Amino acid sequence: DGGITQSPKYLFRKEGQNVTLSCEQNLNHDAMYWYRQDPGQGLRLIYYSQIVNDFQKGDIAEGYSVSREKKESFPLTVTSAQKNPTAFYLCASSIDGTEIQETQYFGPGTRLLVL
């Protein structure tokens, strides 16, 4: 089955703790994205990556970090600097991020809660 997987489904963070959300895809897509969704708000872009070892900040990158060491994987770390991390985190991918008419497909999401 081709698709995007995210783990864990639920994640709990303690004060001052860094946590890492996993995103893996086997669609052979070059471009990958991380979004955050809060109740009553649209999805907001945190980071995106078009190729391995390269990534760009989105609209709300502060308090987050990413890496792209493999084409299939784009993990997101929520650092202690992110003061309001409780949200639904969505990973997406698209073919290569170079076309205007390019669909993004989403993984199942990780819900992060602060203890």
Partner 1 sequence: QKEVEQNSGPLSVPEGAIASLNCTYSDRVSQSFFWYRQYSGKSPELIMSIYSNGDKEDGRFTAQLNKASQYVSLLIRDSQPSDSATYLCAVQTGFQKLVFGTGTRLLVSP
Binding of partner 1 at residue 60 (CB under 8 A)?
A: no
Q: How far is CA 94 from CA 81, 85, 100, 112, 115, in A?
A: 29, 25, 11, 24, 34
Among 11, 74, 97, 112, indicate the residue that binds partner 1 (CB under 8 A).
97
Nearer to partner 1, 69 or 99 (CB): 99
Continuous H helices in 3-110: none
Among 48, 64, 68, 78, indicate the residue that binds partner 1 (CB under 8 A).
48
Binding of partner 1 at residue 45 (CB under 8 A)?
A: yes
Q: How far is CA 28 from CA 35, 60, 98, 103, in A?
A: 20, 27, 15, 14
The sign of the torsion formed by the CA atoms of 44, 37, 105, 27 equals positive
Nearer to partner 1, 34 or 72 (CB): 34
Binding of partner 1 at residue 108 (CB under 8 A)?
A: yes
Locate 109 and state its tokens.
């999401």
Nearer to partner 1, 45 or 80 (CB): 45
At 29, which amino acid appears?
H
Q: How far is the CB of 19 from partner 1 (least distance, A)?
A: 19
Residues that bind partner 1 (CB under 8 A): 31, 33, 40-45, 48, 50, 56, 90, 97-109
